[in-house]
Amino acid sequence: MPAKGDDESPTATKVSSKGQVYPAGRIDALFSAIDARRDALVETTVGLLKIPTFNPPGNNYLEICDHILARLRPAGFECIKLRAEDAPGDSEATPRWNIIARREGARPGPCVHFNGHTDIVALGEGWTKDPFGADIEGDRIYGRGSCDMKGGLAAAIIAAEAFIEICPDFAGAIEISGTADEETGGFGGVAWLAEKGYFSPNKVDHVIIPEPLNKDRICLGHRGVWWAEIETKGHIAHGSMPFLGDCAVRHMGAVLAEMEEKLFPALGMRQTAMPVVPPPARQSTLNINAIHGGLAEPEDGYTGFPSALVPDRCVITIDRRYLIEEDPADVKAEIDTLMRRVQQQRDGFEYEIRDLFEVHPIMTSAESPIAATVATAIEAVLGDRPEFVVSPGTYDQKHIDRIGRLRNCIAYGPGILELAHQPDEWVGISDMMDSAKVMAHALMGLLADRDQ
């Protein structure tokens, strides 16, 4: 918290991120307006948590958009709901609904946009709390999506409302969006909206994505990602005479052995200057997401035995995360070279590499207007300069950058990164309150002190 004494003198002033001067009382009033909304913040978070928006398949997107609309329209936001009808996964059963809420200021100026994804991932094992009960224990609210990222979305809503109350004369506009599908790539959410121009620099000037990166850190971007399938090919035969066939699983075994021996050590040597957190992610990594070969696993309840077959195909899905210092073409060529090496050692070995998708690494400058403004706000609220970090995985900033061509975007929000997607996920109420103050302070820096 900032030193209280500074603001109590009627002549005290504060310097904004742009070197302009605020009337000091206004910041105190802003923080008090957020303190007064603690219950509203909890209620908003709880309301969002009680709607199970599992993705996949993409449940209850319309319900959560309507819930956000009912929350924001009375606060003076104009709301539009948009369905990404042509997006992957959209159907009558699971329509991809998004909402954009916009509050105009008193005069022209820039638009600050808060973007929160509304979808959540599967529960997994290990829950001891009700994932949709939104139980409150001490400073924590438990529930799937509390940390990632309904708590962040609630904090942005409270920040905007408090700011509008204290600075009704603000310039420009505030937008808050609730978007679909982030957890499966964002194609029915931010990517779709960006295609339609909702994240273009002529519409939006500053974007904050309140993903859970911890309240004292600003996330500037992410590593690159390349997903691909690698298939080894064999020849089917009776399992009692494997010499008449060609086992695709053994070929894949050789591929994996080559990866263990050569690829993984080489990736581990490659370090980035990007401030990725956690630090072990400051290197190139590769995960083997899945492996399938031979007969499919039997259906639940099947009690018979498998048949005797030499597998004629084996497929792995790889998830290669790469660094801003790496050329994406080299990343792919490295895998192809590895496969060719294996090919030279094995008779009749054939393979195929199929691209699934790729996202290039991005990193907004720490000096960009939004990063610098939020850094100033964090210092004002928490008393320390923030840490600038980069995410190990991608998030919706990729679409705002590549499709929207809007570089002035960061992720900043409450919630502890490591709790995302875990059982008994929770978000801290005091962390949300502090983050809301940071967001509101940033709004003041970007919208309130213009032309004054």
| Region from 137-145, 204-212, 328-336, 368-376 binding Zn ion, contact rule CB under 5 A | 204-212
Q: Are 205 and 110 in contact (CB under 8 A)?
A: yes
Question: CB-wise, 51 or 149, nearer to Zn ion?
Answer: 149
Owner of token pair 């000091």: 24
Residue 342: CB minimum distance to Zn ion, A: 37
| Region from 20-28, 210-218, 244-252, 303-311 binding Zn ion, contact rule CB under 5 A | 210-218
Residue 201: CB minimum distance to Zn ion, A: 24
Question: CB-wise, 16 or 179, nearer to Zn ion?
Answer: 179
Q: Are 158 and 41 in contact (CB under 8 A)?
A: yes
Residue 149: CB minimum distance to Zn ion, A: 4
Q: Are 411 and 391 in contact (CB under 8 A)?
A: yes
Residue 374: CB minimum distance to Zn ion, A: 18
| Region from 84-92, 123-131, 144-152, 364-372 binding Zn ion, contact rule CB under 5 A | 144-152
Residue 440: CB minimum distance to Zn ion, A: 22
Question: CB-wise, 153 or 164, nearer to Zn ion?
Answer: 153
Site membership for Zn ion, residue 209 (CB under 5 A): no
149, 174, 230, 403: residue in contact with Zn ion (rule CB under 5 A): 149
319 SS3 class? strand
Distance CA 125, CA 136 (A): 21
Residue 349: CB minimum distance to Zn ion, A: 41
Q: Are 113 and 178 in contact (CB under 8 A)?
A: no
225 SS3 class? strand
Paired with 174 in beta bridges are 103, 112
Residue nearest to Zn ion (CB): 148
Residue 40: CB minimum distance to Zn ion, A: 23
| Region from 141-149, 168-176, 219-227, 398-406 binding Zn ion, contact rule CB under 5 A | 141-149
Distance CA 116, CA 119 (A): 9
Q: Which residues contact residue 429 at a Cβ distance below 8 angstroms, ignoring those fewer than 6 apart?
A: 38, 41, 42, 136, 139, 140, 141
Owner of token pair 């603690």: 38
Site membership for Zn ion, residue 148 (CB under 5 A): yes
Distance CA 192, CA 199 (A): 10
Site membership for Zn ion, residue 120 (CB under 5 A): no
Per-residue b/e over 391-423, b at no fewer than 16 CB within 10 Å? bbebbbbbbbbebbebbbbbbbbbbbbebbbbe
| Region from 93-101, 149-157, 186-194, 278-286 binding Zn ion, contact rule CB under 5 A | 149-157
Binding residues for Zn ion, rule CB under 5 A, total 3
Question: CB-wise, 89 or 293, nearer to Zn ion?
Answer: 89
Positions in the binding site for Zn ion (CB under 5 A) = 148-149, 211
